[in-house]
């Protein structure tokens, strides 16, 4: 905790003073983020760092496994993800939504563990059900691979499937139909510090290159 408190002091002395105008503008005009960024809780994945951004740029949702539960007609089944998607699209009018998975994801590994293992942490077990479709797809599409090899591609497949789930939301369907919203699947390779984007036409992830 001492490290965090010392960090707050350093933030006030350095970053805040260097970005005084930014904070005043954000306070005066409210937020107007470019994108909704959905990624994993993993402490090694920081959306603002990997996009080299600053406060106000991204509306961020983090959850274990960067899951996007499919749209539900029943408001009693509301999730934090669903509420954030609706708010970001309908009220903040974000132009892009990014779902970003990452390498060495504990949630993806947990999909391969028997659910009975989570009897003492039932909310983890229940939340991992959001990865069931990912597991079904990986098992069906890569029957020749060993369990270990399948684990490596599970994170990537999961991102693509969560983007498909995102497209079940009426607000997303409407905004994309009107050309006001674009949805992206990204993948962050921690060891390389590399960010990949999924190309649906090639059905593969490629490093994000600077647009020319
Ligand atoms: Zn993760």
Pair of tokens at residue 116? 């009975």
Ligand 1 centroid to residue 119 C-alpha, Å: 21
Burial of 117 (0-12, 13-18, 19+ CB in 10 A): exposed
Q: What is the DSSP string of 125-187?
A: HHHGGGGHHHHHHHHHH-TTS-HHHHHHHHHHHHHHHHHHHHTTSHHHHHHHHTTS-EEEEEE
pLDDT interval class at 147 (50, 70, 90):
confident
For the segment 37-65, the average pLDDT, to the nearest whole number, is 97
Its pTM stands at 0.94
Q: Tell me the per-residue pLDDT of 149-170, one tens digit each, with 9 for 90 and over.
A: 888 799 999 999 999 999 999 9
For the chain, list the domains and their CATH numbers.
Answer: 1-30 (no CATH), 31-207 (3.40.1050.10)
The whole-number pLDDT of residue 212 equals: 44
Ligand 1 centroid to residue 176 C-alpha, Å: 27
Ligand 1 centroid to residue 101 C-alpha, Å: 7
For the segment 136-152, the average pLDDT, to the nearest whole number, is 86
Ligand 1 centroid to residue 100 C-alpha, Å: 10
SS3 33: coil
Q: Which residues pair with 188 in a beta bridge?
A: 102, 195
For the segment 162-189, the average pLDDT, to the nearest whole number, is 98
Rounded Cα distance, 194 and 93, in Å: 28
Ligand 1 centroid to residue 177 C-alpha, Å: 31
% of the chain with per-residue pLDDT over 70: 99
Ligand 1 centroid to residue 111 C-alpha, Å: 11
Cβ proximity of 45 and 188 under 8 Å:
yes
Ligand 1 centroid to residue 14 C-alpha, Å: 31
The CA-atom distances, in angstroms, between 43 and each of 89, 92, 102, 137, 205 are 26, 26, 11, 27, 23
Say which residues have a Cβ less than 8 Å from residue 113's Cβ, sequence separation at least 6.
none
Ligand 1 centroid to residue 138 C-alpha, Å: 17
Ligand 1 centroid to residue 56 C-alpha, Å: 24
The answer, yes or no, to whether residue 192 has pLDDT greater than 80, is: yes
């Amino acid at each position: 905790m001492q490290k965090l408190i010392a960090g707050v002091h350093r933030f006030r002395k350095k970053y805040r003073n260097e970005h005084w105008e930014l904070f005043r503008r954000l306070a005066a005009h409210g937020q107007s983020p470019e994108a909704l960024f959905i990624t994993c809780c993993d402490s090694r994945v920081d959306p603002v760092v990997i996009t080299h951004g600053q406060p106000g740029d991204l509306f961020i949702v983090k959850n274990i496994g960067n899951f996007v539960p499919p749209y539900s007609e029943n408001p009693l089944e509301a999730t934090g993800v669903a509420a954030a998607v609706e708010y970001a699209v309908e009220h903040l009018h974000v132009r892009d939504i990014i779902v970003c998975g990452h390498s060495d994801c504990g949630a993806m590994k947990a999909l391969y563990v028997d659910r009975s293992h989570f009897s003492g942490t039932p909310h983890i077990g229940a939340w991992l059900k959001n990865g069931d479709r990912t597991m079904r797809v990986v098992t069906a599409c890569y029957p020749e691979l060993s369990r270990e090899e399948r684990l490596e591609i599970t994170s990537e497949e999961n991102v693509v499937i969560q983007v498909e789930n995102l497209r079940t939301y009426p607000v997303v369907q409407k905004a994309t139909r009107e050309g006001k919203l674009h949805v992206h699947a990204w993948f962050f390779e921690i060891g390389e510090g590399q960010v990949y984007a999924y190309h649906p036409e090639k059905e593969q992830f490629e490093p994000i290159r600077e647009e020319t």
